[in-house]
Chains A and B, each alone.
Chain A
Amino acid sequence: MSKAHIYKRDHINTDEIIPARYLNTDNEAELSRHCLEDLDADFVKKVKAGDVIVAGEDFGCGSSREHAVWAIRGVGVKTVIAKSFARIFYRNAINNGFYIIESADALDKISNGDEMEIDFKNGLVKNKKTGMDISFNPLPDFALEIINAGGLLEHIKKKIK
């Protein structure tokens, strides 16, 4: 079961997700200790493996640092549900095999702490607390191909061979 961490804000940027003062490493475990630090210093204490971040428009805007995806994945977050994603973050998530969800109404239908079940295949978020279902468009086929391969490098590795 996944618990929701709600951030009702647009433009949550890469400096908030993983501040540049920690970019002197690319170690996922180290980065994850500072996940969302400048947005919510308590996030790393609250979050549990399998939890979900829910946010507004343009999530992950700013820098190209893939460290943002690593920090989020590293802390155990299963997926991010946002109204929209900044394009480099979107690419980075797909390239890392990290499934992210675009949903216009998730913020209205999920509250902080709600427990959810996510059916990636059928594009459905089931809010266990309210009983409400939120459908989303699954990622496009090319993105699924990359994700199913285990990320872009595994994907091209297969092609090279």
Chain B
Amino acid sequence: MAMTITEKILAKAAGLEKLSPGTLIDAKIDIVMCHDVTTPAAISMLAEKGIDKVFDTEKIVVTPDHFQPAKDIKSAELHKRLDEWARRHEIKYYYKLGRAGVCHALLPEQGHIRPGEVIIGPDSHTCTYGAFAAFSTGVGSTDTAAAIATGKLWFKVPASMKFVLNGKLPKGVYSKDVILAVIGKIGVDGALYKAMEFTGPALSGMSMEARMTITNMAIEAGAKSGIIGFDEITKQYLDEHLKEHKYYTHFESDADAEYESTLEIDCSSLEPMVALPHLPSNAVPISDCAGKKMDQAYIGSCTNGRIEDLRIAANIMKAKQVAIRTIIVPATPVIWKQAKDEGLFDIFYDAGCVIAAPTCGACLGGFMGVLAEGEKCVSTTNRNFVGRMGHPKSEVYLASPATAAATAIEGKLTDCRKYI
């Protein structure tokens, strides 16, 4: 029976030869990602139920990120609960402040993500790791508690939808624009419960950083997971980042595997995209919205806070001044240091930006750039729901780092291509 890459990974995790969409499985979990907002609840539940144990101290990766360094007393309490638990169980990969970073940027960078594996975490953007030909999905705190204790979790095998990214990205168009265009086409529930499998020639020109932006936003179309097949670029990234357990098995979809649907995207004809408030699916080309005045630009997050994103933004801001509040948030300490060493901080400083410590911060209205009533923010993040970055009457415009940087300079939504 022909199978997709997702079905093959899940079959292996369930110890089955074959399976098909709809099959209910008990899957072995390879990595459980834990952060500060949703894991403390999981820890408390386990304690309450008297099953306070961890299945494998080397397969749980812990990093506070959402509200770190602690933004207030209550978040400090969350960090304290996470810290006590991680120490008590001697979790091997516990990234404390100074080494902690935005989870979905940190785990691949620190070599915790391998092809063919199953990764879960109590965070909806856990689907990011699918860029490495792995099955990864976001779950809740209870699921996380169960996975921490048993190393297993129930799943219904998702049907797969194929997205063929044809052509080559034009100048000024990035993977963020591609995924916004895809979500714009299928809607925020266009892939509900499904695995989104991305393939096609446009991907082969994309770095792992760029690919992660695509799989990161699979959840914004309602998907269970996003996945991209293994190739030389994947291998090269893994060679550079895997520190231990360098072995892995990579699967690929059979040529005659079944897909629920196939959508072809001509990337050569794409423009820079902006998702208008209040849904990621409200994606329009920049030519349809340029000129709209903004109050803030935010460049960071698990979607676009990696070194490549900061380089793109810095190239545009070089020797320019920003016209609005501009916040740069390198996603991890390594990215932070890289950006500093490469001189990007000088560019950002000279332009008038503020540079924050790694955190999810204002992406979810936490801190480090929360919006007031009526304010508008161009943001490289993934979600623009009502009140997402602050006041319920503020507005978030999702875009690429290039579009956010060009917009920061002009103070209004701007076509980044004039600065490239």
Contact = CB atoms under 8 A, between A and B. Distances in A.
B46 A64 contact: no
Interface in A1-47: 10-11, 13, 15-16, 19-21, 23-26, 38-39
A142 B383 CA distance: 32
B216 to A, nearest CB: 14
A64 B140 contact: yes
A25 B74 contact: yes
A23 B122 CA distance: 13
Contacts of B139: 64, 88, 91
A74 interface: no
A24 B51 contact: no
A103 interface: no
Contacts of A38: 386-387, 392
A156 B38 contact: no
Contacts of B72: 24
Given A58-B188, A61-B222, A87-B193, A26 B141 contact: yes
A96 interface: yes
Given A26-B41, A91-B143, A142-B154, A58 B383 contact: no
Interface stretch (B9-17, B144-152, B169-177, B350-358): B144-152
Contacts of A39: 386
B103 to A, nearest CB: 12
B271 interface: no
A95 interface: yes
Interface in B361-412: 364-366, 383, 385-388, 392
Nearest to B392: A38
A144 to B, nearest CB: 13
Given A15-B383, A19-B387, A87-B193, A153 B67 contact: no
Interface in A123-161: 142, 151-154, 156-157, 160
Contacts of B146: 95, 152-153, 156
Interface string B116-154: 000000111010000000000011111101100110001
A157 B385 CA distance: 37
Interface in B286-318: none
Contacts of A64: 38, 122-124, 126, 138-140
A16 B192 CA distance: 19
A57 interface: yes
Nearest to B45: A153
B46 A153 contact: yes
Given A95-B143, A153-B142, A24 B74 contact: yes
Nearest to A22: B74
B142 A95 contact: yes
Contacts of A91: 139-140, 143
Contacts of A57: 189
Contacts of B78: 24-26
Interface of A: 10-11, 13, 15-16, 19-21, 23-26, 38-39, 57-58, 61-67, 69, 84, 86-88, 91-92, 95-96, 142, 151-154, 156-157, 160
- Sorted nearest first, the 7 A-B pairs with minimum C-beta distance are A24-B74, A66-B140, A92-B140, A95-B142, A26-B41, A20-B364, A58-B189
